[in-house]
Structure 1
Amino acid sequence: MENQNKKDDKFMTDKQKNYIEGLLSDKRISNKYEDYRQYVKQVLQSDCVMTLQHASNIIENLKNIIEFNKAMQKCRSGNDNSSDNISNENIVTEHIE
């Protein structure tokens, strides 16, 4: 239990902060997520203390948003060359079964 508390006491590094700021400026994050982007920017600029886990969660969220937006853009542009695209019909069928 003591080791877990020591692990939780580690704080976000400058490298992580810079990486998050870079992700926030990524143009592939659509305007739909602007509220989240602004929220994260405010947290980074505030005196709030973020742990390594907080930073990792934010990084993962931003990466997921970017990946999702890339996939949606690819789908909208009609570029369905990859086999990992799932049609709406497959999604409905999977939920019914």
Structure 2
Amino acid sequence: MDDEAISIRLTRDQAFVLSDWLYQVMFQSDDLEGIVRDRAVWSPIYAISGTLDKALSEIFMPDYGPRLEAAKQRLRADLYDASDELASPAEGS
């Protein structure tokens, strides 16, 4: 078995939004078992969640909600801008 570590790079906004979603699914709603039926998958989910919790100071800040919403808005804008560029025909074609 190969236990070589894998690194995943996320922007701070991506990490923050993912951390919040994981928290909601894992601890607030008890949905993890319904979403992820194979408990073997829980191990990497908990590892990712723990790593994000250690890396993100934002999760302990008093303005958590507004920061989270701002991060979500930036990610949506980036995602939709990028998809618009991919979907739009090139100018001058």
Please indicate the TM-score interval, normalised by the length of the shorter structure.
Answer: 0.3 to 0.5
TM-score by length of 1: 0.35
Larger radius of gyration: 1
